A = this chain, B = another copy of it.
Amino acid sequence: MTSVEGSKYMLKKRITLKDIARETGVHVSTVSRALDPVECKHLTEEVANRIQSAAKTLGYRPNRIAAGLRTNRTMTVGVIIPDITNVIFPPILRGIESVLEPLGYASIIVNTDSDPEREERLIDVLRDRGVDGVIHAAVLRNDPAIAKAADDGLPVVTLNRKVDGSPIPSIVNDDDSGICQMLRHLRDLGHTRIAHISGPQDLSTGQLRLAAFRRAADDMNVAVNDELIEVASRFDEAEGARCLLNLLAKGKPFTAVLCANDRLALGAIEALRERSIGCPGQISVTGFNDMPFLNLVQPQLTTVRIQQFGAGKAAAGVLLQLLNGDSSAPRETILPVELVVRNSTGSAPEIPASVLPKPNDPAGAIQQ
């Protein structure tokens, strides 16, 4: 026994094609063919069987690194997301996996933290590793790095956002329809003064949903008052609360707040609770996304359910088409969304809460 064999982490020798060739007395190329489901049809059945059973008994496992070097296909895709700890991404990843894993693909997931420099570096990391394609679920409205990679010929699919003026296929949820359905729901409950807490405008969903809100309100003849639109600087609870307090401070009456996502809505509800303003009694609040655990918080949030798993599946499907050189891959896939009515929305009250006297302002706000 040599000292090397005694090393603690000495991997057991892997079986290679060469080993099988030696064992069966044929050439490695014949072994390679015998183990390829297509090529093996060109071999004598007896030889193919002999090789296959030898491979099995020896415990052969193909070395994908070696195959990848030769074929220039690694059977690996890169998945770029802002942050895996954001609850909307894990289901997307499972959706991607559900399509690609059965076909022998693995994915390398990287988190950009929405930092363009980091993203650029990570794209290089993925390319160094020879990924066959990339699914890009970042959120910034423009990112030159991925467009450049696509330009270089790397197959790319974007998820939840489009890159303007680029031929990169995209998968998006129908935000437009979701906002529209939600606004209709509120109007049907009698609300006419509807505020909006929008997401950051440098994020595609932030911008898209604000634009959708304006458009939907216009279509439905709901008056949009710019004073009733607050723009959050992050998609989180603290910003939701801050924006809601800003809305109240303006003294403009409103009976409902349509928020650009669930976390903003949860923050808004929290702020209402602290001010002892009833939800949905005095002000209705709505979210967007239908994130997990929403059923646990009171009041349960009325929201728009978007497809996460489904979006991942769709993105993987389109990427596969690109990988197979199928030029009929759709440029844009729009997934339907679903209104989920729970109990954070109710009929509009006669008198908007925002004009009632506030606890710390006995004179009350002046209604314009």
Interface residues of A (CB under 8 A from B): 7-12, 61-66, 68-69, 74, 76, 83-85, 87, 90-91, 93-94, 97, 101, 106-111, 124-125, 127-130, 152-155, 237, 266, 270, 292-293, 296-298, 322-323, 325, 327
12 contacts between A and B (CB under 8 A): A8-B325, A9-B323, A9-B325, A11-B152, A12-B152, A61-B124, A61-B127, A64-B128, A65-B65, A65-B129, A76-B108, A101-B110
The distance in angstroms between the C-alpha atoms of A57 and B346, with both chains bound, is: 64
Once bound together, how far apart are the Cα atoms of A54 and B306, in whole Å? Answer: 49
Copies in the complex: 2
Interchain nearest-CB distance for A249 vs B (Å): 24
Bound Cα distance from A61 to B128, whole angstroms: 6
Instruction: Decide: B270 and A296 in contact? CB cutoff 8 A.
Output: yes
Kindly state the separation between the CA atoms of A228 and B140 in the bound complex, as whole angstroms: 52
- Complex alpha-carbon distance, A322 and B10, angstroms: 11
Q: Would B90 and A84 count as touching, CB distance under 8 A?
A: yes
Choice from B64, B94, B266 contacting A129 with Cβ under 8 Å: B64
Q: Which residues of B contact A94 (CB under 8 A)?
A: 83-85, 111
Chain B residues, Cβ within 8 Å of A87: 87, 292
Cα-based distance from A85 to B152 in the complex (angstroms)? 33
Please, which residues of chain B bring their CB within 8 A of the CB of A9? 153-155, 322-323, 325
Name 18 extra pairs, CB < 8 A, besides A61-B124, A61-B127, A64-B128.
A8-B325, A9-B153, A9-B154, A9-B325, A10-B153, A11-B153, A63-B128, A65-B130, A83-B94, A84-B84, A85-B94, A85-B292, A106-B108, A266-B296, A293-B297, A296-B297, A297-B298, A298-B298
